[in-house]
């Protein structure tokens, strides 16, 4: 079963993914200046915006993986 967005061509097999899509793409909020994502809070948009910068301050000690968010590095290490 697929869940389809009523406002664009997005579809997914998970209801929760559709819910997140609707919130980030079609609800009013704080848009990212670089990509199409929108955020319900300004702090979330600011946290996201570093993804588009070349700064990757968190580096894996075991390989050459690097990221702009510590939580991504923590997930990578697991």
- The pLDDT of residue 58 is above 80: yes
Task: Give the model's pLDDT for residue 51.
Answer: 81
How does pLDDT run across 2-57, given as a tens digit for each residue? 999 999 999 999 999 999 898 878 887 888 888 888 887 889 888 888 888 877 88
Task: Give the model's pLDDT for residue 52.
Answer: 85
CB 55 within 8 A of CB 67: no
- Structure-model confidence comparison of residues 61 and 28, the more confident one: 61
Q: What is the DSSP string of 8-53?
A: SS-EES-HHHHHHHIIIIISSSEE-SSSS-EESSHHHHHHHHGGGS
- Mapping DSSP onto H, E and C, the string for 62-74 reads CCCCEECCHHHHH
Task: Give the model's pLDDT for residue 9.
Answer: 95
């Amino acid at each position: 079963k697929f869940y389809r967005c009523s406002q664009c061509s997005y579809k997914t097999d998970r209801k929760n993914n559709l819910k997140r899509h609707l919130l980030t793409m079609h609800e009013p909020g704080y848009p990212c200046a670089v990509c199409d994502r929108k955020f319900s809070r300004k702090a979330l948009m600011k946290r996201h915006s570093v993804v588009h910068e070349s700064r990757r301050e968190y580096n894996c000690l075991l390989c050459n993986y690097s990221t702009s968010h510590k939580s991504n590095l923590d997930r990578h290490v697991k």
